Amino acid sequence: MEERADFSVRGAIIDIHTPFYEEPLRLEFDGDRITSIRRFETETQRSLPQGRMENAILLPARDISADGAIQPLKTLFDYLKRNEILFINEGDEVEKEVQAFSHLIEEHYEKARQKRVRAPAGGRLSP
């Protein structure tokens, strides 16, 4: 695993390098239940000191399916029923996360564009 979005499956262990973390994650399963999440070093395959995590963010690495069909992207609002009220607690923290995530998406969009990899049109998010 050398690049973000790479992953490998070995028995009950899944290693995945997500865009959200500098180091890849190792998910260890007992059946269909995750027993541990740890960050690890790629070269040595050893868990990092203080690398144990209680939870992790995992999102799809691509918005385009392998067969080339472009799926319409959905937002949170697509899942809400009509006339529902959405209350956001700690709005400043949410705004900070939106800005960080928007910046991350812009970086990945530019990298994909430079590599001439398929990327959804209009790779920018605005709050």
Residue 13 lies in a domain: yes
pLDDT of residue 56: 84
The amino acid at 120: P
Same domain (yes/no): 15, 48: yes
Tokens of 98: 């939106």
Question: Which structural domain, as residue segments, surrounds residue 35?
Answer: 7-53
Q: How far apart are CA 77 and CA 101, in angstroms?
A: 18
Say if pTM beats, i.e. exceeds, 0.85. no
Same domain (yes/no): 15, 33: yes
Question: Cβ–Cβ contacts within 10 Å for residue 64, how many?
Answer: 15
Tens of pLDDT, residues 68-92: 555 666 777 777 777 887 777 888 8
Residue 1 lies in a domain: no
